[in-house]
Amino acid sequence: MGEIETLQNKLGHEFEDRGLLNRALTHRSKSPDNNERLEFLGDSILGFVVAEWLYERFPGVAEGKLSRMRSTVVRKETLTKIARSLNIQNNLILGEGELKSGGHNRDSILADAMEALIGAVYLDSGMEKTKEVVTRHFDDVLQALTPKSVYKDPKSILQEYLQQRSLPLPVYEVVQIEGEPHRQTFQVSCTVQGYDEPFIAVGSSRRSAEQLAAKKAFSTLNA
């Protein structure tokens, strides 16, 4: 059994349209026909499937806590772990630069490919099959969730801290983007009322940079 067949077997879905599978595994460093659009779709579908599961499982839990529970499931760390369990790293289609720099082991690339794969399953076979695939591979994380064991990301923590003190929400802005399209770094500022200087952080994505900036801000405010 080849690598791609092993991946499909572990995933629990054999693609009718192999082109979708190939696109889901193709990084932007390799081709303009890459997985970014499928990643966008898969991110939304994953969020929906998890939200529906949480809505039905926890009927008495408020929206804010449900949102944080969903964030625990769909965060990069979880996606990367599942991607590695499927050996996605052995099937990624990367450009020469990413191959040389070890892109097949980069967490952000693996997490993006996992989302793209979910989007590809949806286009290939519809929502019911996608739900089956998602619940199968995210089951351990979902089953471990309780309203009391919710992971709060730094942005949520900072937001709650400010809201409790009736202060305006922080403002995030991208200050600078550097690097080649396939290896960009984002510098983000987090402005909080009462502080003249914004809190600055750098990450491999806008999202990660915002989280790091929020963490800096909260550490200072809560010192």
Q: How far is CA 116 from the centre of its chain?
A: 11
Give me the domains of the chain, ranges plus CATH numbers: 3-149 (1.10.1520.10), 154-221 (3.30.160.20)
| Residue 156: predicted pLDDT | 85
The token duo for 88 is 């996605």
For residue 69, report the phi and psi dihedrals to the nearest 5 degrees: -65, -40
Quote the CA–CA distance of 77 and 85 in Å, as a whole number. Answer: 13
| Residue 97: predicted pLDDT | 86
Tens of pLDDT, residues 19-56:
999 999 999 999 999 999 999 999 999 999 999 999 99
pLDDT less than 70: residues of the chain: 1-2, 149-151, 182, 223
Q: pTM of the entire structure?
A: 0.71
| Residue 11: predicted pLDDT | 93
| Residue 3: predicted pLDDT | 84
- Verify whether residue 115 is a known catalytic residue: yes
- Verify whether residue 36 is a known catalytic residue: no
The catalytic residue among 39, 98, 112, 115 is 115
**In which element (H, E) is residue 25 found?**
none
| Residue 157: predicted pLDDT | 86
Burial of 209 (0-12, 13-18, 19+ CB in 10 A): buried
Instruction: Give which of 69, 94, 91 is closest to 11, Cα–Cα.
Output: 91
